[in-house]
Amino acid sequence: MKTLQFREAIVEAMSEEMRRDESVYLMGEEVAEYNGAYKASKGMLDEFGPKRVIDTPIAELGFAGIGVGSTMTGCRPIIEFMTFNFALVGIDQIINNAAKIRQMSGGQFPCPIVFRGPTASAGQLAATHSQAFESWYANCPGLKVVVPSNPADAKGLLKSAIRDDDPVIFMESEQMYGDKGEVPEGDYTIPLGVADIRREGNDVTIVSFGKIIKEADKAADELQKEGISCEIIDLRTVKPLDYDAVLKSVKKTNRLVILEEAWPFGNVATELTYHIQANAFDYLDAPIQKINTADTPAPYSPVLLAEWLPNHEDVVNSVKKVLYK
């Protein structure tokens, strides 16, 4: 094992796949000359040159479309958005072309493309730069959605995403790029659609993904001091979602809390709640609790932002609620 920052794990994953397969290239704003807006492509221009590491204008619809079109000529593009808030400009290419071209061509044209970049809030970036769209993309048939929470998962999942023959939405976080963690040496992949049992426990299951899962870790540490044993599941992949891992855990703990940085209406937690109550109703000893942001645009004020975001205290309170404490 070696210790890498999250951004370094992203660089390694892309670089290793570009060495392995000449059809892979990276395109996006500031990915080349500037080494990436968050230094998540550092050194790649020097190694692979301007034909495979391509700077673009501020034109998400344009370069998303170029990427989708290039898959039809045998390429495997990685399209970087500076944030997924800006992907809204190019979402027509993602939803109406990337997600549908395999079916609409009768299987003649797979679309092996990765759209990657940061999602959700990252401090005082205000309403239009603090949005989480995981559930939007997961709602669209034809797309896979990946949200890693640590460097090792980021590398293994990104390599799998690049090798996948379908479009993958790969969502990171500005606030995780500096996170450090142990990463296996050598070539490895993590299959899409397989959750990780991040912490084993017996009293309650907590499900989360992405950077907000750190709040679940803090809550579990605090609750352990009170004798409450939490099992934490990191979904890692939102679509396909590993329902079986959650079902198995809930059948053991009989209680479920879901933590997700997203608006509360119609999100990933909502889908998971429905599935668990439909398939494990008799195992539940309490109603499922889901924890989300407030149902408003993200505020700029740091005081209001702290109220808007879920935190470990919310998790502690929800766990105690399902335990009737």
For residue 170, list its beta bridge partners.
Answer: 116, 146
Comparing CA positions, the residue from 179, 219, 184 lying closest to residue 198 is 219
Model confidence at 89, pLDDT cuts 50, 70, 90, reads very high
263-298 confidence digits (pLDDT tens): 999 999 999 999 999 999 999 999 999 999 999 999
How much is the pLDDT for 81? 98
How much is the pLDDT for 45? 98
| pLDDT average, residue stretch 298-321 | 97
pLDDT above 90 covers what percent of the chain?
100
How much is the pLDDT for 102? 97
99-119 confidence digits (pLDDT tens): 999 999 999 999 999 999 999
How much is the pLDDT for 13? 98
Model confidence at 200, pLDDT cuts 50, 70, 90, reads very high
Catalytic residues: 60, 129
Q: How far is CA 196 from the centre of its chain?
A: 13
Q: What angle do CA 266, 267, 268 make, to 5 degrees?
A: 135
Backbone angles phi, psi at 240, to 5 degrees: -75, 150
Model confidence at 152, pLDDT cuts 50, 70, 90, reads very high
Yes or no: say if 168 and 111 are a contact pair by the CB < 8 Å rule. no
